[in-house]
């Protein structure tokens, strides 16, 4: 196939994903373009090749789920679980993202230009997430590793039950979750924020961000924590 353009009005999603799984190594460097997603679920799931994929329109659940190596851009809004369990590569949502963006992602970079809904970065396992707008409640719940940069405001219970993941927030934090605390920014934090903002092409000043990390009170069984377990 020479033309790497797919129209989901014409081609079934199964056929597109099969192509993305089977043939990409030989097309590395050539962009794949997907038109008319019309909110379809599971577009570009399980891609494992260093290739550019552009999706023009709004997508449904799990776009770019479990991505490895690919650079996937959604020119629209993304549904729930965008880039869930991503291992590497880059996923860029030009619009807004629904719930559970980047859930349990192990590696790679997720950029969301607009707002992300509830539970952004839930169970994060090592990926980086940059959100240009606000995030909803319970974002970074039980996040174990990785970094989140939130340029807007957050909902309730940010960073509940965090482990080693670190969150940087520019706007207001509605409330912190159990065991999360605001900490002073160190040089490496400014560098990390700067690095991630640059990768995401945002021009905010790293000095405007504050760092949220685990207070580590739940790292070892704590009888007095009661409801926090």
Partner 1 sequence: MNDSLHRLFFLEESAGYNRHILNYIQNAAAHGLYEIRGLGAKRRLPHFDDLVFLGASLSRYPLEGYREKCVTKTTLGTRYASKPIELEMPITIAGMSFGSLSANVKEALGRAATQVGTSTTTGDGGMTPEERRSSKTLIYQCLPSRYGFNPDDVRRADAIEIVIGQGAKPGGGGMLLGQKVNPRVAAMRTLPEGVDQRSACRHPDWTGPDDLTIKIQELRELTDWQKPIYVKIGASRPFNDVKLAVHAGADVVVVDGMQGGTAATQSVFIEHVGIPTLAAVRQAVDALEDMNMKGKVQLIVSGGIRTGADVAKALAIGADAVSIGQAILMSLGCNSDTYIQNGAHHSAVDDYHALGTAPGYCHHCHTGKCPVGVTTQDEQLEKRLEPDVGARRVKNYLQTLNMELTTIARACGKQNVHHLEREDLVALTIEAAAMARVPLAGTNWIPGYTTAIHL
Binding site for partner 1 (CB under 8 A): 13-14, 17-18, 21, 41-42, 45-46, 48, 60-62, 65-66, 68, 80-81, 84-85, 87, 100, 103-104, 106, 119, 122-123, 125-126, 141-142, 144-145, 161, 163-164, 218-221, 223-224, 229
Residue 178 CA to its chain's centroid (Å)? 22
Q: What is the number of H-type helices and E-type strands within the chain?
A: 2, 11
d(CA 113, CA 101): 12
Q: Identify which of residues 46 and 171 has a Cβ nearer to partner 1 in the complex.
A: 46
**CA angle 41–95–72, rounded 5-degree value:** 60
Q: Identify which of residues 107 and 114 has a Cβ nearer to partner 1 in the complex.
A: 107
Using DSSP, state whether 198 is helix, strand or coil. Answer: helix
Do the beta carbons of residue 47 and residue 53 sit within 8 Å? yes
Least CB distance to partner 1 at residue 38 (A): 15
Residue with tokens 């989140």: 148
Do the beta carbons of residue 37 and residue 16 sit within 8 Å? no
Q: Which among 219, 215, 20, 199 is positioned nearest to 113, based on CA atoms?
A: 199
Least CB distance to partner 1 at residue 220 (A): 6
Q: Identify which of residues 203 and 227 has a Cβ nearer to partner 1 in the complex.
A: 227
Least CB distance to partner 1 at residue 163 (A): 6
Least CB distance to partner 1 at residue 225 (A): 10
Q: Identify which of residues 118 and 193 has a Cβ nearer to partner 1 in the complex.
A: 118
Using DSSP, state whether 196 is helix, strand or coil. Answer: helix
d(CA 52, CA 32): 6
Least CB distance to partner 1 at residue 71 (A): 17
Least CB distance to partner 1 at residue 171 (A): 24
Q: Identify which of residues 29 and 220 has a Cβ nearer to partner 1 in the complex.
A: 220
Do the beta carbons of residue 99 and residue 119 sit within 8 Å? yes
Strands 210-214 and 125-131: unpaired
Least CB distance to partner 1 at residue 20 (A): 10
Q: Identify which of residues 90 and 170 has a Cβ nearer to partner 1 in the complex.
A: 90
């Amino acid at each position: 196939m020479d033309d790497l353009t797919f129209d989901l009005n014409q081609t079934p999603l199964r056929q597109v994903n099969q192509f993305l799984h089977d043939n990409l190594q030989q097309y590395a460097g050539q962009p794949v373009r997907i038109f008319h997603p019309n909110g379809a679920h599971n577009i570009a799931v399980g891609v494992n090749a260093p290739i550019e994929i552009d999706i023009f329109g709004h997508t449904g659940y799990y776009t770019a789920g479990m991505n490895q190596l690919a650079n996937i851009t959604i020119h629209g809004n993304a549904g729930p679980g965008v880039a869930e369990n991503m291992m590497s590569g880059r996923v860029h949502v030009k619009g807004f993202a629904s719930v559970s963006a980047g859930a349990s992602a192990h590696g790679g970079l997720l950029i969301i230009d607009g707002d992300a809904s509830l539970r952004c970065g839930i169970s994060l396992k090592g990926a980086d997430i940059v959100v240009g707008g606000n995030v909803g409640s319970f974002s970074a719940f039980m996040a174990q590793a990785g970094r989140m940069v939130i340029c807007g405001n957050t909902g309730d219970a940010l960073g509940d039950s965090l482990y080693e993941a670190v969150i940087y927030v520019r706007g207001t934090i509605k409330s912190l979750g159990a065991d999360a605390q605001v900490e002073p920014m160190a040089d490496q934090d400014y560098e990390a924020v700067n690095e991630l903002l640059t990768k995401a092409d945002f021009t905010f000043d790293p000095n405007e961000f504050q760092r949220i990390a685990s207070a580590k009170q739940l790292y070892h069984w704590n009888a007095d924590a009661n409801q926090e377990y």
